[in-house]
């Protein structure tokens, strides 16, 4: 079948479905599947030209999810598809069981209803993940710290850096964040990196915002970044 | 409470009037040109000039415009940026230390429906009027630079455009059929109707801005006054070049193939 995009009625119905799903999940009641007629009905959506391939029952990591999406759309169409929010919302509805751990882990609305807003777009489980993946596709080892975990979770590094344009455009900066906070042996974020204390991603974001006043971070190399990082980050170095 | 801000590294704030940005938005094609007068800031000749352009939180494009000693200002295409307002950040950077020597940030050029491209738009669009049976037309009745009151506007019938002319023109079929024809109408009015026209390259008036735009499309200078018989052919070339460069023809074909 072809991938579709919601119209306004489809968006409204999906939002209502999400609202009820959250209520049911909170009350420990079974969450109903997304209605088939919402996904395929002509009154709620229209087809795009992209074909939906068979997809796995389970995406273990965000990289698995993003690489699947990367196979669905031609890379040459990135500029066109990245802003098609009603298509991303339909995709989230279509893949709802896969991105909610079988409707057991239901998050806030913006995780499924896509938006281009600064504080929202990277929170969409599929669009945000694909955005990071696409922008780092030449060397995904630099963004493992953003994409290593399962699609239903939003780790602290992703929360802090998911929408940070400078990170998406500077491989040196990506490498520094990866080196600071990713435990390569355990294949996950380093212990203690999820908090608010000294040396955490939240503090690193504050540091970048501060030095960005005086330095053009796109012109800073990885070794120079490494040298510039203050002492409070030593425990993660 | 007074907040004391200390600028330890002495970066200089570049005044907005030292930077000239022209944004042209025609249908889905968005281009800008930029120039800057940095003489009074005494930046060293090897300092790099960068311009970051953003239009939504998901996308930013950086352009390198050479160095202070050898600037390479030129026109650039930013059609891939989407959203309502284009924001430009202008930086002069020391290449060795990556320090910002001069900044002009958040230079914003508004783009909104009914006035696409804001005051710098070549062709504002309007989808709020009934056009009595035609789908579109070009009227010459809005205000423009240099106190003009006869600048062109592309009107799309409000029932056809559902009150959003810019959305209507995002359709590749509509833009391919309408925009080159609208361009031809406007250039013909400037160059073929009324008094002899004399091009002033530095003028901001809508007539000169349109001719400047046409020259950038075709790459050929405007024919001299004594060669006025060449003007219709020159207009044809400019409109065809615009259609090619903006991929209107290809976009149309791809759309109808779907």
Per the prediction, chain A carries an average pLDDT of: 91
pLDDT above 80: residue B195 = no
Other beta carbons within 10 angstroms of residue B203's beta carbon come to: 14
- A119 neighbourhood in chain B, CB within 8 Å: 57
- A118 neighbourhood in chain B, CB within 8 Å: 57
Instruction: Please work out, in degrees rounded to the nearest 5, the angle formed at the alpha carbon of residue B221 by the alpha carbons of B220 and B226.
Output: 125
Position B57 scores a pLDDT of: 58
pLDDT above 60: residue B189 = yes
* Inter-chain CB proximity A218 and B59 less than 8 Å: no
CB B38 within 8 A of CB B99: no
Mind listing the pLDDT tens digit for each residue in A48-90? 999 999 888 889 999 999 999 999 999 988 888 888 899 999 9
- CA separation for the pair A163, A124 (Å, rounded): 11
pTM over 0.80: no
Other beta carbons within 10 angstroms of residue B122's beta carbon come to: 22
- State which residue of chain B sits closest to A118, comparing Cα positions: B57
The closest CB to that of B57, out of A49, A117, A219, belongs to A117
* Inter-chain CB proximity A116 and B60 less than 8 Å: no
Query: Token pair of A114, please?
Result: 């896509």
The closest CB to that of B100, out of A83, A163, A215, belongs to A215
CB B124 within 8 A of CB B110: no
* Inter-chain CB proximity A220 and B62 less than 8 Å: no
The percentage of chain B sitting over the pLDDT mark of 70, rounded to a whole number, equals 84
Mind listing the pLDDT tens digit for each residue in A167-203? 877 888 889 999 999 999 999 999 988 888 899 999 9
The percentage of chain B sitting over the pLDDT mark of 90, rounded to a whole number, equals 31
Mind listing the pLDDT tens digit for each residue in B120-158? 467 888 777 889 889 999 998 877 666 677 888 888 888
Nearest chain A Cα distance for residue B91, angstroms: 8
Nearest chain B Cα distance for residue A130, angstroms: 12
Q: Does A208 touch chain B (CB under 8 A)?
A: no
pLDDT above 50: residue B118 = no
Q: What is the mean pLDDT of residues B62-83?
A: 88
Residue A26: its H or E element: helix A8-26
Mind listing the pLDDT tens digit for each residue in A27-51? 999 999 999 999 999 999 999 999 9
Q: Which residue has the higher pLDDT, A230 or B201?
A: A230
Coil, strand or helix at B140: strand
pLDDT above 60: residue B5 = no
The residue of A219, A220, A224 whose CB has the most chain B CBs within 10 angstroms, and thus the best one to mutate to test that interface, is A219
The residue of B47, B57, B82 whose CB has the most chain A CBs within 10 angstroms, and thus the best one to mutate to test that interface, is B57
Nearest chain B Cα distance for residue A112, angstroms: 17
């Amino acid at each position: 079948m072809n991938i579709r995009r919601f119209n306004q009625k489809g968006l409204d119905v999906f939002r209502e479905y999400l609202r009820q799903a959250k209520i049911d999940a909170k009350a420990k009641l079974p969450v109903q599947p997304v209605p088939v007629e919402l996904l395929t009905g002509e009154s709620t959506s229209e087809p795009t030209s992209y074909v939906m391939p068979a997809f796995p029952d389970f995406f273990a990591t965000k990289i698995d999810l993003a690489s699947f999406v990367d196979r669905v759309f031609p890379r040459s169409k990135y500029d066109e598809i990245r802003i098609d929010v009603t298509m991303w919302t339909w995709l989230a509805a279509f893949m709802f069981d896969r991105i909610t751990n079988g409707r057991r882990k239901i998050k806030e609305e913006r995780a499924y209803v896509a938006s281009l807003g600064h504080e929202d777009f990277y929170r969409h489980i599929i669009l945000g993940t694909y955005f990071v993946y696409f922008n780092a596709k030449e060397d995904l080892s630099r963004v493992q710290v953003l994409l290593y975990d399962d699609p239903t979770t939003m780790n602290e590094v992703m929360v802090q850096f998911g929408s940070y344009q400078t990170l998406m455009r500077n491989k040196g900066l990506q490498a520094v964040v990866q080196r600071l906070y990713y435990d390569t042996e355990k294949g996950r974020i380093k212990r203690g990196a999820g908090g608010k204390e000294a040396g955490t991603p939240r503090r690193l974001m504050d540091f970048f915002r501060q030095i960005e006043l005086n330095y053009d971070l796109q012109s800073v190399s990885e070794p120079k970044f490494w040298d510039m990082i203050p002492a409070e980050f030593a425990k993660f170095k | 409470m007074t907040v004391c801000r200390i600028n330890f590294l002495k970066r200089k704030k570049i005044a907005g009037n030292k930077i000239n940005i022209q944004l042209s938005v025609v249908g889905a094609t968005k281009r800008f040109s930029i120039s800057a007068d940095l003489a009074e800031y005494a930046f060293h000749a090897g300092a790099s000039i960068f311009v970051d352009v953003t239009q939504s939180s998901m996308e930013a494009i950086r352009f390198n415009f050479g160095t202070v000693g050898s600037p390479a200002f030129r026109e650039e295409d930013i059609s891939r940026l989407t959203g309502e307002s284009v924001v430009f950040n202008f930086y002069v950077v020391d290449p060795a230390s990556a320090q910002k020597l001069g900044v002009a940030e958040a230079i914003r050029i508004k783009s909104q429906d009914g006035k696409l491209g804001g005051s710098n738009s070549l062709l504002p669009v309007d989808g709020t009027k009934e056009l009595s049976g035609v789908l579109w037309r070009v009227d010459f009745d809005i205000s423009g630079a240099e106190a003009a009151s006869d600048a062109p506007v592309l009107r799309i019938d409000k029932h056809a455009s559902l009150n959003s002319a810019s959305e209507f023109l995002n359709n590749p079929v509509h833009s391919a059929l309408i925009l080159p024809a609208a361009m031809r109408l406007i250039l013909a009015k400037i160059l073929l109707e009324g008094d002899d026209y004399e091009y002033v390259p530095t003028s901001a008036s809508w007539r000169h801005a349109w001719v400047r735009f046409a020259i950038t499309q075709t790459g050929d200078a405007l024919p001299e006054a004594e060669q006025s018989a060449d003007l219709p052919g020159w207009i044809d070339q400019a409109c065809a070049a615009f259609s090619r460069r903006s991929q209107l023809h290809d976009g149309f074909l791809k759309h109808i193939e779907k």
